Amino acid sequence: MTKKYNYIFVFSKFKSYLCALKFSTMPKMKTHSSAKKRFRVTGTGKIKRFQANTSHMMRNKSKKAKTRLVKSTLVCKAEEKRVKRLLAIG
């Protein structure tokens, strides 16, 4: 009988030790779910995005303007740090 109780005591101490280890590490950075749908990272580490002004009022835009809006573009340097933080990239 005493061995059984002793085993449970040791196991509970070990379990609390594991819990302490788990909470002592820094939490993981989570990716912002709307950012991962809007941005892609290129091979060189730059961030690609889609262009705005393509959802409505397309009849007022010229054919040339609409063609240019189809292509994706890079995020500017001023915004890159903030977007990388949202995407949980170093």
Q: pLDDT, tens digit, for every residue of 29-71?
A: 899 999 999 999 999 999 999 999 999 999 999 999 999 999 9
Most distant CA atoms of the chain, gap in Å:
86
Category of 29 on φ-ψ map: left (φ > 0), alpha (ψ -120 to 50) or beta: beta
> Under CATH, which architecture does the 28-86 domain have?
Irregular (4.10)
Q: What is the rounded distance in angstroms from the CA atom of residue 90 to the CA atom of residue 87?
A: 9
Residue 5 pLDDT greater than 60, yes or no: no
Domain boundaries, the chain: 28-86
